Structure 1
Amino acid sequence: MKKVAILQSNYIPWKGYFDLIASVDEFILYDDMQYTRRDWRNRNQIKTPQGLQWLTVPVKVKGKYHQKIRETEIDGTDWAQEHWKSLAQNYRRAPHFEAIADWLEPVYLDPDNHLSQLNRRLIEAICGYLGIRTTLHNSWDYELVEGKTERLASLCKQAQGQEYVSGPSAKDYIDEQVFEDLGIRVTWFEYAGYAEYPQLWGPFSHHVTILDLLFNCGRDAHRYMRYVKA
C-alpha cells in the first residue's frame, strides 16, 4: 500500500516534519498554496544562550498579496552568511557541529533565488544525511484540480497512493469522504511523545529546527525520531 503525504515546504523544519517524510513512500511539496507571512515557510527557531531565536529568510512580499509559495522570491543573499554565522556561534560547542557543517555550510553559501528551491534543497540535504529515501515531488509535477480536499485527493490518486497521511491540524477541513470515493484511506500522523535529547542552552524545546538535533546528536539523531532508521 503506497503512502503519500502532501505538505507545504518549510525552512529547515523541525524533526516531526522529517518523521512525516520518512513515514511515507512519496512526499509532495505543496508549494502551489498561497504564501503566508510570519509562518514556517521562510523561518524557524534555534536555541541560543539568550533563549529561542528566529532565523528568517527575507522574501519579496511588497505588492504580492496573492503570490504562491513557489513564486516567492528571496530578497538578497546576505541572509545566508548571517544565518550560517548564527548557527556556528550557537552550536559550535555541540558534539557534532563540525561533521554537520561539512555538508551543510556549502548549501548555505550557494543560496537560491526562490524560497521553494531553497527549502527543497535543504530538505533533500537533511533527508540524505538521515538516510530517508522517500521520493520527493513538487505539486506542480501533477495536474491541479479545484477544491481544497479535492486537490489533495487528486494529487494522491495521481501519485498512485492508496493511503494519505496527514498532519492532525488538517482534521478541521479535510473531507475524508472525498478520499474514500477515490479508494484512498486517510490516516492521521501523530507528533506527540518525542523523547528529549541532549540539548544546549536552557530548558528543552522540541519545537526548533531539526538542525538542533543533528548538531547535538549526529548519526544518533534517529534514536530520537520514530520513523527514521539507522
Structure 2
Amino acid sequence: MQYTKRDWRNRNRIKTSQGLQWITVPVQVKGRFHQKIRETLIDGTDWAKAHWRALEFNYSAAAHFAEIADWLAPIYLEEQHTNLSLLNRRLLNAICSYLGISTRLANSWDYELADGKTERLANLCQQAAATEYVSGPSARSYVDERVFDELSIRVTWFDYDGYRDYKQLWGGFEPAVSILDLLFNVGAEAPDYLRYCRQ
C-alpha cells in the first residue's frame, strides 16, 4: 500500500489546554513519491522525546496516566524506531495487549494483492479469510462495497463521531483525538467506549 501525506499513519491529535494539537512523526518523503507505507522511514529521533513531553504535559492529571505511562513511556523514551510501519505495529501491539485484544495481526505485504484500491482491499480480506472489512469513514469515497459483496464480505464503517462521551481533561468532549486520550482518561474501560463507534 502506498504512503500518503497528511494522513493518520504518521500523525494524530491530542487534547490540550489550548485545543487540539497534532503530534507528528516526521518521515522521509522528499523524492519518494511512490514509496510504500512499509518503506517509509522516520526522519530523525527528536520527535519521540517531544511526543512524550507533550503527552506527559497534557495528560499527567488524567485518571489513568500513570498506569498507561508504565508501558507507553518506554516505547517513546527507550526504544529506537526508524521505520514508520514498525513503529505503528509496536504501538498497536502494546495497545491491543493492554486492552486484552487478541486478534491476529498480519502485514499486507505478506499477501498477493490485486490492482485497484477496492480490489486490493477485498482481495486482502479474502486471502486472510475475513468475513468483515472495518474501515474509517474517509474510505467511503473510494471503496466500492459491491466488490466486497461479491466475495460475501460485510463492510462496516467506523464512525468516529459515534463515541460515547467520556470525561476528558480540558473542557468539553472532543471525539477526534488519538486513542491515547481514551486510554489516559478511562484506562481498561476503553473497549466499552469503542463499541459505540460502528455504524
Q: Does residue 175 of structure 1 match 2:144?
A: yes
Q: Which residue of 1 aligns with 2:39?
A: 71
Q: 1:221: Cα distance to partner?
A: 2.0
Instruction: Name the aligned partner's letter for residue 146 of structure 2.
Output: Q
Q: 1:226: Cα distance to partner?
A: 0.7
Identify if the C-alpha distance between structure 1 residues 50 and 144 changes in structure 2 by more than 3 Å, giving closer, same or farther: same
Q: Which residue of 1 aligns with 2:186?
A: 217
Asked if the contact 1:164–1:184 (Cα under 8 Å) also holds between the matched residues in 2, the reply is no
Q: Which moved more, 1:118-127 or 1:35-44?
A: 35-44
Q: Where do 1:38-117 residues align within 5 Å?
A: 38-109=6-77, 110-117=79-86
CA distance in 1, matches of 2:146, 2:164: 35
Asked if the contact 1:48–1:201 (Cα under 8 Å) also holds between the matched residues in 2, the reply is yes
Q: Does residue 146 of structure 1 match 2:120?
A: no
Identify if the C-alpha distance between structure 1 residues 72 and 56 changes in structure 2 by more than 3 Å, giving closer, same or farther: same
CA distance in 1, matches of 2:138, 2:31: 30
Identity level (%)? 63
**How much is the aligned-residue C-alpha RMSD, in angstroms?**
1.9
Q: 1:187: Cα distance to partner?
A: 2.5
Gaps in structure 1 of 5+ consecutive residues:
1-31
TM-score, reference length from structure 2: 0.90
Q: Deviations over 1:146-184 (max 9, x none)?
A: 222222221111112233334443333333333343x32
CA distance in 1, matches of 2:149, 2:13: 37
TM-score, reference length from structure 1: 0.78
Q: Does residue 121 of structure 1 match 2:79?
A: no
Gaps in structure 2 of 5+ consecutive residues:
none
Asked if the contact 1:51–1:202 (Cα under 8 Å) also holds between the matched residues in 2, the reply is no
Identify if the C-alpha distance between structure 1 residues 197 and 159 changes in structure 2 by more than 3 Å, giving closer, same or farther: same
Identify if the C-alpha distance between structure 1 residues 70 and 51 changes in structure 2 by more than 3 Å, giving closer, same or farther: same
Q: Deviations over 1:41-82 (max 9, x none)?
A: 111111111111111111111111121111110011111011
